[in-house]
Chains A and B, each alone.
Chain A
Amino acid sequence: MGHHHVSSSAMFFNVLVALLILTGITVGTSRIDFGAANMMIAMAIASVKASLVMAFFMHLKWDTAINKIIFLSSFLFLSLLFIFTFADHATRRMDTQWHVTKAPVDKQWVHPSQLVGK
């Protein structure tokens, strides 16, 4: 059947080698302290690895447009979950030291810009 794409063995092997090398890079970069950037670096490498798996192992590169849209849209909806979760967190006062202070969180709402520390 002409609509089926058969990938070459060499291509699959190259993708495997790339994935294993990227795993090594993930471990390597985690050893260096880049501060907050460590999370961005780890997630960027993971995204590249995930893209390789999706495009080549899962054949999404050669799949129909509708299948690409369906699967990739799940990441779009996921980003909505993340955006609203973190929008809530960024605008909420939380006492993360409750286990030391045992003090109740202020009942009165304070604008985030007025807070000394979250």
Chain B
Amino acid sequence: MSHDGHHSVVIPAPGPEFQAHTVAHHFDTPVQEFQSAKLGFWLFLATEILLFGGLFAAYFYFHEVYPETFRLGGQQLSWKLGALNTSVLLLSSWTMAMGVRCAQTSQKSKLLMYCGLTVLGAAIFMVIKFIEYKAKNDHGLVVFSELFSPYNEATGQLAWFKDYHNAMVDKAGVPLPHGHLFFAIYLTMTAIHGLHVVIGAGLILWVMKGAAKGRFHAGYYLPVDLVGLYWHLVDLIWIFLFPLLYLVP
């Protein structure tokens, strides 16, 4: 008997290498616990769609107003690195899906392996992202050291936009309107996405810690499932970011 007079529901461990799960006392059944958490997490993911949705609206709006600026801006990015990162993220989404499956089928060591591979994917993604940011910095398209400098009245551009190699000019050499705008949107969207990659990798490491202790098995794998959903959302966002930023239509 717990303090509020209810029996605690315990899901037994399927084997000696696993731990039993005690259902939180404010839930009557394991199913109720599972469904409540899933409902809340889908609500959270809906707000994530709206967060990125605002940025996508900004992208589509300015793409419509300054199509040439966006087309030329997209050509400054390496589509090969973008495609490579897309493949890395898709592969990591697959390893995560396999990880959740291993949790559902009580395969402890394979769960750890697939989670480890997913974190590896996240690390490769961020390394490639860093290489890309470095190139943008070196070409003066996003000068990171001056990211918070004020708007430059003389050039009509943001101060962190230097364009050392005059990449963002038309055939007559006239700077395209709002050349900085494409890179402002590129940086904002990829940086917020990158933050999600880092947070996602941290959450998967946390799942691995629990998995190593045998917390997750066929009877209870809720945290693995939810972290998996978060990781797939990161993939979902990138599926749209890749063609819009690297292959500007």
Where the two chains meet, the residues of A that have a C-beta atom closer than 8 Å to any C-beta of B are 1, 3-4, 6-7, 9, 12-13, 15-16, 19-20, 23, 26-27, 30, 38-39, 41-43, 45-46, 49-50, 53-54, 56-58, 63-64, 66-67, 70-71, 73-75, 77-78, 81-82, 85-86, 89, 94, 96-100
Q: A7: shortest Cβ distance to chain B, in Å?
A: 6
- Residues on B with C-beta less than 8 A from A78 are 49-50, 53, 56-57
Complex Cα–Cα for A93 and B56 (A)? 22
Given A23-B242, A96-B65, 5 extra CB contacts under 8 A: A46-B239, A53-B232, A66-B39, A78-B56, A86-B61
Binding site of B, secondary structure by majority: helix, strand, loop or mixed? helix
Partner of B247, one of A26, A67, A97: A26
Complex Cα–Cα for A45 and B229 (A)? 21
Which residue from chain B places its CB closest to the CB of A97 in the assembled complex? B177
Count of chain B residues near A, Cβ 8 A = 57
Complex Cα–Cα for A53 and B90 (A)? 9
- Residues on A with C-beta less than 8 A from B96 are 57
Which residue from chain A places its CB closest to the CB of B63 in the assembled complex? A39
- Residues on A with C-beta less than 8 A from B38 are 63-64, 67
Question: Within 8 Å of chain A (Cβ to Cβ): is B30?
Answer: yes
Question: Within 8 Å of chain A (Cβ to Cβ): is B31?
Answer: yes
- Residues on A with C-beta less than 8 A from B34 are 1
Contacts A13-B94, A66-B39, A98-B177 known; A77 to B50 CB distance under 8 Å? Answer: yes
- Residues on A with C-beta less than 8 A from B164 are none
Which residue from chain A places its CB closest to the CB of B93 in the assembled complex? A57
Tell me which residues from 176 to 212 in chain B have a Cβ below 8 Å from any Cβ of chain A: 176-178
Partner of B42, one of A3, A19, A67, A98: A67
Partner of B249, one of A13, A39, A57, A58: A39
- Residues on B with C-beta less than 8 A from A39 are 249
- Residues on A with C-beta less than 8 A from B64 are 86, 89
Interface contact A1-B232, CB-CB below 8 Å? no
Partner of B90, one of A9, A20, A56, A96: A20
Question: Within 8 Å of chain A (Cβ to Cβ): is B97?
Answer: yes
Complex Cα–Cα for A19 and B242 (A)? 13
Interface contact A96-B42, CB-CB below 8 Å? no
Interface contact A42-B247, CB-CB below 8 Å? yes
